[in-house]
Amino acid sequence: MDFPTTLIKAVKGTRDLLPPATEVWNGVEAAARAVFRAYNYHEIRTPIFEETQLFARGVGEETDIVTKEMYTFEDRDGGSLTLRPECTASVIRAYIEHRLDQRPGVQKLYYLGPMFRRERPQKGRYRQFYQIGAEAIGSESANVDAEVIEMVVEILQRAGLAGFELLINSVGDRNCRPQYVERLRQELKAVAPGMCGDCQRRADTNPLRVLDCKVEADQPIIEKLPSIVDHLCDACRAHFEAVKQSLADRSLAYQVRPRLVRGLDYYMRTTFEVVHGSLGAQNSVLGGGRYDGLAEALGSKVHSPGIGFSIGEDRLVTIVEGGQSPAPLDLFIAPLGEPALRHAALMARDFRKSGLSVELAEGKLKRVMELANKLGARFALIVGENEMAAGRYALKDMSTGEQESLTRDEIAARLAAALNC
């Protein structure tokens, strides 16, 4: 049978995550999990595809995500399914379906996993991308908003990110935002024809998204548009002031950006982003905000206010991986001959159980020691018939070249002391 010779590559906008980069990914996720635990958040795992209506109703029919970016397909039973472009709508769907509102206290849920949008691939942005996110459901308190933002900052710091900037805003609620949106729509009628194509389209269908335009030529026009902060109702203004005070109490530096809006319809009141200069124009590392009406929009009969965020893990890793080195190999074992290989395999098993990273390779001693160097091993252990008979083995410190003859117990103690394990 003849096989085609054309090389199959990863689909455009996707990529393989390879070592040692995956070590950075694991480190970022471990840092996030540790912070989530400290704040009493618990993991939720939702399907990667949902009924299309979930995102149309939750994210918004006129958003770019729904109109241009979703991967939607017809199931065999004729239903329409969509690969999740974000996870908040899925979490709220699960919250409603499983009656999590019946559980005591605020429901604090976090997730990690892939999302899918058919966007133009660029630095830090892929068609299959990864998010770390969380939702706090069941409270309208401004203190909860501030605590979520505090948690975000802690995650980024533990992950190794420095030099980032926190931006906040309020986008009002169903009482004051419609009037502002209508005012914005009227103002845009005169200026939208001179803006980019996306802004011209959004000027009528989703005017708030015009404020999020990144086209440099449009910025002078956007700066002259009415600010939503000047159009907040008394309740939204008081909530925003309380959020700012709570952030100040936590000594969290921030900037108010009146043009900061989120691209999804469900956001209201508090919105926030973290940006980093190393990413260029598309400099957002994460975004989040409050969505007090989303549960009702998805069919809930119970008022379930919430606030959440999602971190673009691809972008975060891009920034932090340059400052990290792959974890070194703790121990390389070089067996000399078949009996030594069998004996060394059991030694490797025992050292691995103690928490060491161990590589075992057979071959000529010179070749395997060269391999130990290439793998960055911190110690090398030589196991031959003479060593087995004497019960003492040659342990070499690869950084100093110092070699010692030690028993198995002495080796374990030596490694534990040197590697802090």
Tell me: the pLDDT tens digits for 322-363? 656 667 899 999 999 888 999 999 999 999 998 899 999 888
Q: Per mean pLDDT, which range of 1-5, 265-269, 372-376 is the poorest?
A: 1-5
Fold observed for domain 21-176+232-323: BirA Bifunctional Protein; domain 2 (3.30.930)
Contacts for 373 with CB less than 8 Å, ≥ 6 apart: 398
1 — pLDDT class (breaks 50, 70, 90): low
The more confidently predicted of residues 2 and 105 is: 105
Among the ranges given (13-17, 208-212, 267-271, 341-345), the one the predictor scored with the smallest mean pLDDT: 208-212
Sequence ranges of the domains in the chain: 21-176+232-323, 331-419
Tell me: the pLDDT tens digits for 201-220? 888 778 888 887 778 888 88
Across the range 234-257, mean pLDDT stands at 94
Q: What is d(CA 347, CA 369) in angstroms, rounded to the nearest whole number?
A: 18
Among the residue ranges 11-25, 89-103, 130-144, the one predicted with the least confidence is 11-25
Q: For residue 253, is pLDDT > 70?
A: yes
pLDDT digits (tens, 9 = 90+) for 79-90: 999 999 999 999
State yes or no: pLDDT of 182 exceeds 90. Answer: no
The 10s digit of each residue's pLDDT in 20-78 is 888 899 999 999 999 999 999 999 999 999 999 898 887 776 666 777 788 899 999 89
Q: Which residue has the higher pLDDT, 419 or 237?
A: 237
Structure confidence at residue 264 (pLDDT): 62
According to DSSP, the residues that pair with 415 across neighbouring strands are: none
- Please, are residues 29 and 110 in contact by the beta-carbon 8 Å criterion? no
Could you tell me if 152 and 167 are in contact, meaning their C-beta atoms sit under 8 angstroms apart?
A: no
The answer to whether 366 touches 392, Cβ cutoff 8 Å, is: no
pLDDT of residue 199: 85
Say yes or no to pLDDT of 110 above 60.
Answer: yes
Greater model confidence, 281 or 303:
303
Q: Is the pLDDT score of 4 beyond 70?
A: no
Taking the C-alpha atoms of residue 70 and residue 53, their distance in angstroms, rounded to an integer, is 12
Mean pLDDT rounded to a whole number for the chain: 88
265, pLDDT greater than 70? no
* Res 292 pLDDT > 70: yes
Rounded average pLDDT over 118-129: 80
Give the torsion sign (CA, 212, 216, 222, 228): positive
pLDDT at 280: 53
Residues 6+ apart with CB under 8 A from 26: none
CATH fold of 331-419:
Rossmann fold (3.40.50)
Q: Report the predicted TM-score, pTM, of the whole model to 2 decimal places.
A: 0.84
Q: Is the pLDDT of residue 122 over 80?
A: no
Average pLDDT of span 89-105 = 93
**Percentage above 90 pLDDT, the chain:** 46
Separation of alpha carbons 380 and 358, rounded Å: 10
Please tell me the predicted confidence (pLDDT) of residue 201: 83
Q: What was the pLDDT predicted at 125?
A: 77
Is pLDDT above 90 for 175? no
Looking at 152-156, 261-265, 303-307, which range is the least confident one? Answer: 261-265
pLDDT at 328: 82
The predicted pLDDT at position 123 comes to 66
- Give the CA distances from residue 253 to residues 167, 245, 261, 307, 416, in Å, rounded to whole numbers and listed in that order: 9, 11, 19, 20, 42
Split at pLDDT 50, 70, 90, the class of 148 is very high
Q: Tell me: pLDDT of 405 over 70.
A: yes
How far apart are the C-alpha atoms of 115 and 103, rounded to whole Å? 28
CB 65 within 8 A of CB 118: no
- Is 90 exceeded by the pLDDT of residue 130? yes
